[in-house]
Structure 1
Amino acid sequence: MTDPLPEIKTDLVSRFEDDPDELVERTELPVGWHVDSPDAGDRFQVARLTHLLRAHERHGRGWAGAGVDDVLLEVSEQGLLTRENVVVRDAAGTIQAWGSVHDRAGGRMLFVHVVSRELHGAEADACSDALFEWARGQARAIGAARGLPTQQIDTGAFEDDERQARWLTGAGFRHVRTWWQMSRPGEEGDADLVPDPTDWERKGIRFRLVDREGSDLPAEEDLRAVHDVLEQAFKDHFNSFEETFTEFLRRTREEPGHRWSHWWIAEIVDGEGDPEPVGALVGEASESSTGPGSSYVSYIGVLEAARGRGVATGLLRTIIADAARRGRGSVGLEVDADSSTGAQRLYSGLGWRTKYVTQSWHFDVPVG
């Protein structure tokens, strides 16, 4: 069960076209095949989408990690304010392809593109074309609603998925970035890396949870501090788009692994004034029915003025120690393979190793 969301006024609105037939007009599907919107209330449809997604992962990296919660994040009523979905059904009504778009931030739209691994040849290509045509139409709708001249479509692929790369290249997408998906197994002594993962201090830097003792919900001031630190820390990074506080809060809260007890703030406390937030880490939790669960570093950022003071190392040691005390088996994270910040050296030095590799592919859609 995920934690509750604070009562914070939202500025989110849906900018999508909800009729897939309006966007898929040029793609010629096989006779009897058609596009449709999935029904999150139909457990058989959800099960089919989960099957397609897991098969996609298994082919791309060797194993499947997605579950029903990951699918519901995309198709349920909770997520549909910032997401929209389409499916391609064959003549028998079976879902053979699934596309999902996410209005992530001004100018950036995420796109999930999944085609059944049981399809081949012209049928598979037609499904892929339909998903791309629909996504371009949604990008135009979002960009127009935001008043933008161009809307970016940002999608991902596993490094070894040759079929996906062929489709992306054929649709005009550019491979723009490579990401190392890293994992650090638990080691003896991890629980004692920091005195107390909930609150500790070193060399004038205090590391503490945002959910303070005695409160069910973190203070809005703390959540805004995390958002502000991450926005400033990543403003000059690859493909960074400004994300409002409510966009950020809703999106991170929706993740299946969300826990307020995995959000940390690093503050400078060696001056005479109030504590100054200079670092933040947003983590997630993943439970397993077959073994120990894991923790995941969704975001870690440090303000430029505070770099070199051990803030990032302190935050990473904190989530490692927290995971060990919870009996977790590993801590995962993602790192930009082309980053010039030296983050790879920091992670490798703390025991992280690359588990598999993913890619980012972009397509810029003229809105007008």
Structure 2
Amino acid sequence: MSSPDVAPSHAALPAGWTAQEPTGDDVPDLVRLLRQHEKEARGWPGADSEQVAADVTGKGAVTRRHWLIRDPEGAARAWVSCHDRAAGRVLVGVTVDPDLDPAQAEPVATHCFALAERTSGEIARDRGLAATQMDSGAFQDDDRQDRWLKDAGFKHVRTWWQMERPVTAQDATDHPQPREGVVVHRVRRDDAVGLPDEEDLHAVHEILEESFADHFNNYRETFEEFLDRLRADPGHRWDHWWLADVDGAPAGALVGTTVTGRLDPAGNPVPDGSYVEYIGVHSSARGRGVAKALLWAVIADAAARGRNRVGLEVDADSPTGADGLYSSMGWKTVYVTESWHKDVEAPAG
């Protein structure tokens, strides 16, 4: 195994500390660090070791850069992640050990955010852009993370409700049928090769791009970027993708995933769940009950698989009133997150 790259110097770390690109051997430390942060900031750990491994060394690694910070004793103390999400947008994660003494945590956090800014600028340069948006997040009421984001020049721009709906076995069959003219089906598969139908995949992409065009902070992705990103998720399953046809033409789409590896507040494993990554309805078909039909499809599917919940995220400031639909169908907010943004210029050269 080749030696990991060493991070360039920024806002110096304490003496004896190091910042290097993590390898597969570091994944357990990264998972432990992330779970410690989640437990402190949200109340329970939820990081999935499969997801972390995919992001660091698996399919998702090609669009991400990471730095792992260790103290002089070799303990993992912080993690910087920069995801080249789309042209002009970099998702930034900075995780600092909540058990770290404040006198050490402060310079470590400063170093991490400076490192994230440099890396984001380099991603913009490599894409041929003059600048990019750094898009980071925090759990609501995580005062330490909020303060560090402010100090690094980020602004709080949005709040998100993380919602879940419990699922029972009865939901597999006991639910309303779609309205007249609306037919929901899974993305078709080519039986000869076992791959999803190309036409259906393009329909999903086009519907989602159109339906999210006027949503907050939307960035267009090419069809190839869209597929590559979603397929890199360990929870990806082709049989979790649905289309809704309205009067015979595709007009709604839902992309779901499997949620594994979650722990309860006591640290015990939680059964697998389903998650709605994306749901969109073409503007020409709104008001036909398409979104509700798609949501009932994923609820019924989760019930048939013996799962106990379906999760999703909703923009707390969305003008569409989507939260009203979710609430009426049994979803409740279980925790709240925030988006923080900062624009950064690409370095010369």
Normalising by structure 1, report the TM-score. 0.87
* Contact preservation (8 Å) 1:263, 1:282: yes
Alpha-carbon distance between aligned partners in 1 of 2:307 and 2:191, rounded to the nearest angstrom: 25
Which amino acid counterpart does residue 73 of structure 2 have in structure 1? A
Provide structure 2 residue ranges, at least 5 long, that are not aligned to the other structure: 262-267
Which amino acid counterpart does residue 356 of structure 1 have in structure 2? Y
1:203 to 180, 197, 200: 180
Which whole-Å deviations, capped at 9, do the CAs of 1:37-89 have from their partners, x for residues lacking one? 1111x1xx211111100011111111111121121122114222101100112
Map 1:215-230; keep pairs closer than 5 Å: 216-230=194-208
Q: CA deviation at 1:359?
A: 0.4
Map 1:181-196; keep pairs closer than 5 Å: 181-187=162-168, 189-193=170-174
Normalising by structure 2, report the TM-score. 0.91
Map 1:23-42; keep pairs closer than 5 Å: 25-40=9-24, 42=25
Cα gap change, 1:152/1:322 in structure 2, threshold over 3 Å: closer, same or farther? same
* Contact preservation (8 Å) 1:74, 1:85: no
Which whole-Å deviations, capped at 9, do the CAs of 1:123-163 have from their partners, x for residues lacking one? 11121112111111111111122222220010111002111
2:236 to 250, 258, 261: 258
Worse-superposed segment, 250-259 or 336-345: 250-259
Alpha-carbon distance between aligned partners in 2 of 1:182 and 1:114, rounded to the nearest angstrom: 23
Which amino acid counterpart does residue 279 of structure 1 have in structure 2? G
Residue aligning to 1:308 = 287
Residue aligning to 1:281 = 254
1:82 to 63, 73, 94: 63
Q: CA deviation at 1:311?
A: 0.5
**Superposed structure 1 runs of 4+ greater than 6 Å apart:** none
Residue aligning to 2:307 = 328
Provide structure 1 residue ranges, at least 5 long, that are not aligned to the other structure: 1-17
Residue aligning to 1:367 = 346
Worse-superposed segment, 129-138 or 143-152: 143-152
Which whole-Å deviations, capped at 9, do the CAs of 1:313-344 have from their partners, x for residues lacking one? 10001111111111111111100000000101
Map 1:1-368; keep pairs closer than 5 Å: 19-22=5-8, 25-40=9-24, 42=25, 45-187=26-168, 189-193=170-174, 202-212=179-189, 214=191, 216-268=194-246, 270=247, 275-287=248-260, 290=269, 292-367=271-346
Aligned length in residues:
337
CA RMSD across the alignment: 1.9
Identity of aligned residues (%): 50
* Contact preservation (8 Å) 2:48, 2:260: no
Which amino acid counterpart does residue 39 of structure 1 have in structure 2? T
* Contact preservation (8 Å) 1:194, 1:318: no
Residue aligning to 1:10 = none
* Contact preservation (8 Å) 1:74, 1:84: no
